[in-house]
Amino acid sequence: MKLKDFRWSTGLFLILSPLGAVAVIGYYTYYDAFRWETLALAVFMMFATGMGITAGYHRLFSHKSYEAAAPIRWLLTFFGAGALEKSVIEWSHDHRNHHRYVDTDTDPYSINKGFFHAHIGWLFVKRGTNGRAQVDINQVKDLWADPFIRFQHNYYTAFGLFVCFLFPGLVALAWGDFWGGVLIAGLVRVVVVHHGTFCINSVCHSIGRQPYSKSHTARDSWISAIFTFGEGYHNYHHEFPADYRNGIRAWQYDPTKWMIWTLSKVGLAGKLIRIPDEKILESKLEMKSMDLAAESRGALEESREGFLKAAREMKEVRKAYLKASKEKEAETSSLRKSLKRSRKALLQAYREQKTMIRDLGKSRSSAVSAA
Ligand SMILES: [Zn+2]
Ligand SMILES: [Zn+2]
């Protein structure tokens, strides 16, 4: 990168803010100046701005994986700004390109340019240089139509700095700790949120499993889910970006998914997109059988009918259930039961296929070692 392409304000902030955060923590520890109210505010701000990015910038605005009531859109736009990761417009523009061109030169934070580039290095480069595209409003036309998002974009510097620093300072004024609010709930918190969410582009494309696809570098890891507000199931996300969930199993840590689900239960969110189970299981089976020899794949194909039949049935029952629940028909509850039954049958068929794939793989490797 040439020096003239360096994005000075962003670059210096990203370099100096972690140093500042360490100094603040050192000072507050030495003088024993921490206030528990301010620490609680810092935790609140961490989740509010972090989820402003994951539930707002990412799953709502970039991917439209659900719809949210206007006050929720405003709150996500407001708090998301306080993560200091640029405007909804700029962020979504880059993220849509990340999905469209993943791992290529056009991917703004391609992991193939190195871990450092994907994590933070790409942000040091001015737009319009070194392959970093200017924001093309055509790619985010849908978002540009929202006046509050447009306002946030047009006044981003003042908007972002206000939410990041001044807002927690003013809140902490309630217990007489303005500077604690600015420094702990502002500066220290934003550094944590920065590197947590930056990990989605670096760690989540480097460490973990690839149960759904190997056609891209994205990976699933519960460890990265912990510090990315649930975005650690990134292999799933790249395979099914329309889904409002990243961790699809009930026990998988995905606070963003839980928040969206809760909002939907109180009528503040709707049209949550879930990729059907049969589609997800099918791609898992596809991945598992990828390394099998051609003749084993043939044998597997013949036995697949059971799984496909269960998948078809699941689809039919779901369709009937959704129709009935929309029309508030009496048979909704009995259909819900059949849905549960079909799901059980589908999982059973999936497990049988999984066992078969494992056995075919074993017989193949023993044949290879016998030869
Ligand atoms: Zn990614
Ligand atoms: Zn995404």
- Whether residue 195 lies inside any domain: the answer is yes
Residues 260 and 293 in one domain: no
pLDDT(368) > 70: no
Residue 177 lies in a domain: yes
Q: Averaged over 109-129, what is the pLDDT?
A: 95
Ligand 2 center to residue 365 CA distance, Å?
37
Question: Would you state the pLDDT for residue 45?
Answer: 98
Do 331 and 214 have their domain in common? no
Ligand 2 centroid to Cα of residue 335, in Å, is 33
User: Based on C-alpha coordinates, what's the Rg of the chain?
Assistant: 24
Are 246 and 115 contained in the same domain?
Answer: yes
Tell me whether residue 369 is in a domain.
no
pTM: 0.92
Q: What is the band of 366 on the pLDDT scale with cuts at 50, 70, 90?
A: low
Ligand nearest 234 Cα, by number? 1
Same domain, 245 and 293: no
The model's pLDDT over 195-239, given as tens digits with 9 standing for 90+, comes to 999 999 999 999 999 999 999 999 999 999 999 999 999 999 999
> What is the Å distance from ligand 2's center to 160 Cα?
22
Q: Is 22 in the same domain as 142?
A: yes
Same domain? For 67 and 159 the reply is yes
Q: Grade residue 299 by pLDDT with cuts at 50, 70 and 90.
A: confident
Contacts of 360 (CB under 8 A, 6+ apart): 289, 292, 296, 299, 300
pLDDT at 52: 98
| Cα of 242 from ligand 2 centre, angstroms | 9
pLDDT classification of 362: cutoffs 50, 70, 90: confident
From the CA of 108, the nearest ligand is 1
Cα gap 260→91, rounded to integer Å: 20
pLDDT of residue 365: 64
Q: Which helix (H) or strand (E) holds 269?
A: strand 269-270
* Statement: residue 81 has pLDDT above 60: yes
Distance CA 240, CA 224 (A): 18
For the residues 89-93, what does the mean pLDDT come to? Answer: 97
Boundary-marking domain end, from 251, 270, 289: 270
Q: Which ligand is nearest to the CA of 204?
A: 1
CA of 7 relative to ligand 2 center, distance in Å: 25
Tell me what pLDDT residue 364 has. Answer: 63
pLDDT in tens, 137-174: 999 999 999 999 999 999 999 999 999 999 999 999 99
List, in order, residues 6 or more apart from 293 with CB less than 8 Å away.
Answer: 364
Can you state the percent helix, strand and coil of the chain, rounding each to 5?
A: 70, 0, 30
- Burial (CB count <10 Å: 0-12, 13-18, 19+), residue 35: middle
Ligand lying closest to the C-alpha of residue 62:
2
Most confident of 74-78, 250-254, 306-310, 312-316: 74-78
Domain end call among 270, 293, 312: 270
CA of 10 to the centre of ligand 1 (A): 22
Instruction: List the single range of 29-33, 179-183, 327-331 with lowest mean pLDDT.
Output: 327-331
Provide the domain count of the chain.
Answer: 2
Question: Which of 12-21, 324-333, 344-353, 356-365 has maximum average pLDDT?
Answer: 12-21
Band the pLDDT of 131: cuts 50, 70, 90. Answer: confident
Q: Based on the domain organization, do 356 and 337 belong to the same domain?
A: yes
Q: Which ligand is nearest to the CA of 216?
A: 1
d(CA 186, CA 36): 15
CA of 107 to the centre of ligand 1 (A): 10
Ligand index nearest the alpha carbon of residue 203: 1
Choose one of 211, 235, 270: the last residue of a domain. 270
User: 216 C-alpha to center of ligand 1: Å?
Assistant: 9
**Residue 371's pLDDT is what?**
56
Q: Are residues 162 and 207 in the same domain?
A: yes
d(CA 231, CA 225): 5
**Between these two residues, 1 and 324, which has the higher pLDDT value?**
324
- Same domain for 193 and 78, yes or no, is yes
What's the CA-to-centroid distance between 227 and ligand 1, angstroms? 15
What is the reported pLDDT for 369?
Answer: 62
The reply to whether 70 falls in a domain is: yes
Cα angle at 32 between 179 and 38, to 5 degrees? 40
With a cut of 90, say whether residue 124 has pLDDT above it.
yes
When pLDDT is averaged across residues 258-265 and rounded to a whole number, the result is: 98
**CA distance linking residue 252 with residue 362, whole number of Å:** 30
pLDDT value of residue 247: 96
- For residues 224 and 302, state if they share a domain: no
Residue 367 lies in a domain: no
> How far, in Å, from the CA of 51 to the mean position of ligand 2?
14
Task: For residue 68, tell me if it sits in a domain.
Answer: yes
Query: What share of the chain has pLDDT > 70, as a percent?
Result: 98
Note whether 70 and 128 are same-domain residues: yes
Res 276 pLDDT > 60:
yes
| Ligand index nearest the alpha carbon of residue 95 | 2
CA nearest to 8, candidates 125, 117, 94, 121: 125
Q: How far is the CA of 203 from the centre of ligand 2 (A)?
A: 14
Rounded distance from Cα 217 to ligand 1 centre (Å): 8
Residue pair 189/49 in contact (Cβ under 8 Å)? The answer is yes
Look up the domain containing 286 and give its range.
277-362
Report residue 328's pLDDT band, with 50, 70 and 90 as the boundaries: confident
Mean pLDDT of 342-366: 85
What pLDDT digit, counting tens, does each position of 8-63 carry? 999 999 999 999 999 999 999 999 999 999 999 999 999 999 999 999 999 999 99
Residue 370 lies in a domain: no
185 and 281 in a common domain = no
**Closest ligand to residue 217's CA:** 1
What's the whole-number mean pLDDT along residues 109-133? 93
